Amino acid sequence: MNVQTFTPQAFHRQAHDALGNPQIRSNFRRAMDGLMAKRRDAFGDWDIETLRDLGANIRLRALAKLPDLLEQLEANCQANGIRVHWAEDGEQACRIIRELCEARGARHVIKGKSMVSEEMHLNDHLEAAGIEALESDLGEYLVQLNEQTPSHIIMPAIHLNTEEISDVMHDRTGTERTIDVDYLTAAARAQLRERFMAADVGISGVNFAVAETGTLCLVENEGNGRMTTTVPPVHIAVTGIEKVVEHLRDVPPLYALLTRSATGQHVTTYFNMISGPRKPGERDGPEEVHLVLVDNGRSSIYQDNELLDTLRCIRCGACMNHCPVYTRVGGHTYGTTYPGPIGSILMPHLMGLEATKDLPSASSLCGACGEVCPVKIPIPDLLVRLRKEAVGEGRGNVEGAGVKRDRKEVLAWKGWQWLATHPGAWRAGAGVAGKFRFLSPSRLGPWTDYRTAPKPAATSLHAMVKQHRRKLEREDEK
């Protein structure tokens, strides 16, 4: 399988390629249709609006108290024996984790699913230091075997079909070519069990970090998360600073929203709540547990009342599943760690608007993402805000703001504004435009790819109304 590199800068070309790829179109269409139906069923007997309000308010309360809760989380984790580390950016977080691995002489790291670790390219960093980092979530494992990145935050290998997966596993691990999913799953189980036993360190993400109790919560179906956090002698959990919640009682509603929104499940197979390393007398579990709190742009999102809502996200992926753009172009097209609507409002802060300027526009603003978001993030409003930032109208506190600002466009709009507020000039202009309408271009850039170019009317509406009035007056006179 050929390895492709995707970048947000090449969004338009990548989207064009994906739209012309029937395999991608059908893989995503089928998967997303299924997920949308399952989500609807899973919320069937719920007062979903009340539950979403609760979810939103829990997240907003956590954000309102964020610095205090982070300190409380740190103190309670430390009291439980979890060592807490802080990182301003991905690079620093990678270094902290590498040093923790090196301190243990670790050569083999097994990983549970963690989008933050993808965001900071942890695997590459560890491998450059001679430490093997192996993904254990089945989807992540397959994507890693295929030398790709995840195309969905919950279902990383959703872009591959069974035959493609069978080929990858055959080529890389020597399994038989088959479309028997049970066989492929069992083969991966056997391969990864050896790796769990051999791993020196387990690295996982965190779904919710509870300040009140110093507890790290992990949501999963496979059991690889439990393996990763239980089998190796060291567990390193890595998370964005926004994942903290205040109370343990805040967790059940968020968990209920997360699983139903993500995969339409009433509950996942495992909900794993870790509050410390192995205590004296306990028989298994890691000797050391570390928590790495990563900022990486989040504290600057936090400064702004509107952008702040981005940080409510609980990473369910429902906005992707329901997005008419994502469903058609797939996750790789965005060229970013987080694809789809949430990626389009988050990645500009992580990478700057210059690299990601096309993402806020990769939306029809249909509103589906905001409608399904379990914590009511007004995603369409945030997309519009970032569009404004890109053309330099916003407050400019997003890195790269104004990157799409075009002097000619600004002048054109200024001219338009002047004309529209000066009726005499407007009418004269409309008259001239009507007379010379044969000169108006038939192609207007990409706009006319799917539309006909507008032509000024031979007679403007103003003129027609005037003529009509005169006619009526003449009839009255008669």
Residue 88 binds other proteins (CB under 8 A)? yes
Report whether 444 contacts 453 (CB < 8 A): yes
The β-bridge relationship of strands 244-245 and 208-210 is parallel
Q: Does 18 bind other proteins (CB under 8 A)?
A: no
Among 155, 237, 323, 369, binds other proteins (CB under 8 A): 155
Beta bridge partners, 84, equal: 291
In the chain, the amino acid numbered 348 is: P
For helices 251-263 and 22-42, the axis angle rounded to 10 degrees is 140
Q: Is 22 in the site for other proteins (CB under 8 A)?
A: no
Q: How far is the CB of 57 from other proteins (least distance, A)?
A: 4
> Do residues 201 and 292 touch, judged by C-beta distance below 8 A?
no
Cα–Cα distances (Å) from 299 to 86, 96, 216, 338, 350, in that order, read 13, 19, 21, 18, 11
- By the rule CB under 8 A, 473 interacts with other proteins: no
What are the start-end ranges of the E strands in 159-287? 201-204, 208-210, 215-220, 234-240, 244-245, 270-274
266 binds other proteins (CB under 8 A): yes
Distance CA 11, CA 333 (A): 6
Least Å distance, CB 13 to other proteins, is: 27
3-state SS assignment for residue 194: helix
CA distance 336 to 348: 10
In the list 182, 449, 476, 477, the residue contacting other proteins (rule: CB under 8 A) is 182
Figure out which of the listed residues 131, 133, 192, 382 binds other proteins, where binding follows CB under 8 A: 192
From residue 225 to residue 264, the character string flagging contacts with other proteins as x (rule: CB under 8 A) and all else as - is -xx--xx---------x-----xxxxxxx-xx------x-
Is 120 a residue that touches other proteins (CB under 8 A)?
no
Residue 278 in contact with other proteins, rule: CB under 8 A: yes
CA dist., res. 459 & res. 467, Å (int): 10
**Span interacting with other proteins, options 2-10, 54-62, 399-407, 444-452, rule CB under 8 A:** 54-62
Shortest separation between residue 246's beta carbon and other proteins, angstroms? 10
Q: Which of residues 397-436 bind other proteins (CB under 8 A)?
A: 397
Residues from 320 through 379 that contact other proteins (CB under 8 A): none
Cβ proximity to other proteins: between 207 and 363 the closer is: 207
Q: Considering only residues 94, 206, 234, 274, which one is a binding residue for other proteins as defined by CB under 8 A?
A: 274
Which window, 58-66, 360-368, 379-387, 451-459, contacts other proteins (CB under 8 A)? 58-66
Which of 4, 185, 448, 459 touches other proteins (CB under 8 A)?
Answer: 185
Q: How far apart are CA 114 and CA 238, in angstroms?
A: 8
Among 78, 173, 303, 467, binds other proteins (CB under 8 A): 303
Least spacing, CB of residue 435 vs other proteins, in Å: 53
Q: Among 51, 365, 391, 433, indicate the residue that binds other proteins (CB under 8 A).
A: 51
Among 10, 83, 86, 172, binds other proteins (CB under 8 A): 86
- Verify binding: residue 272, other proteins, rule CB under 8 A: yes
Asked whether the CA dihedral 215, 220, 226, 227 is positive or negative, the reply is negative
- In three-state secondary structure terms, 270 is strand
Assess 165 for contact with other proteins (CB under 8 A).
yes
Question: How many Cβ atoms sit within 10 Å of the Cβ of residue 86?
Answer: 15
One of 136, 146, 149, 336 touching other proteins (CB under 8 A): 136
Query: Cβ closer to other proteins: 41 or 102?
Result: 41
Alpha carbons 231 and 245: distance in angstroms, whole number? 27
Verify binding: residue 156, other proteins, rule CB under 8 A.
yes
Report DSSP state, residue 49. Answer: H
- 40 is a contact residue toward other proteins (CB under 8 A): no
Site for other proteins in 66-85 (CB under 8 A): 66-67, 70-71
- Verify binding: residue 198, other proteins, rule CB under 8 A: no
- Give CA angle at 295 (294, 297), nearest 5°: 140
The answer to the question of residue 58 lying near other proteins (CB under 8 A) is yes
129 is an interface residue for other proteins by CB under 8 A: no
Q: Residue 143's CB: how many other CB atoms inside 10 A?
A: 23
Helix (H, G, I), strand (E, B) or coil at 272: strand
Measure the CA–CA gap between 129 and 106, rounded to whole angstroms.
Answer: 11
Is residue 275 at the binding interface for other proteins, with CB under 8 A as the rule? yes
CA distance 244 to 61: 10
Q: Is 460 in the site for other proteins (CB under 8 A)?
A: no
Does 106 interact with other proteins (rule: CB under 8 A)?
A: no
CB of 222 to other proteins, least distance (A): 5
The helices-and-strands tally (H runs, E runs) of the chain is: 22, 10
Q: Could you give the CA distance from residue 209 to residue 275 in angstroms, rounded to a whole number? A: 10
Q: How far is the CB of 373 from other proteins (least distance, A)?
A: 16
Exactly one of 126, 184, 201, 372 binds other proteins (CB under 8 A); which one? Answer: 184
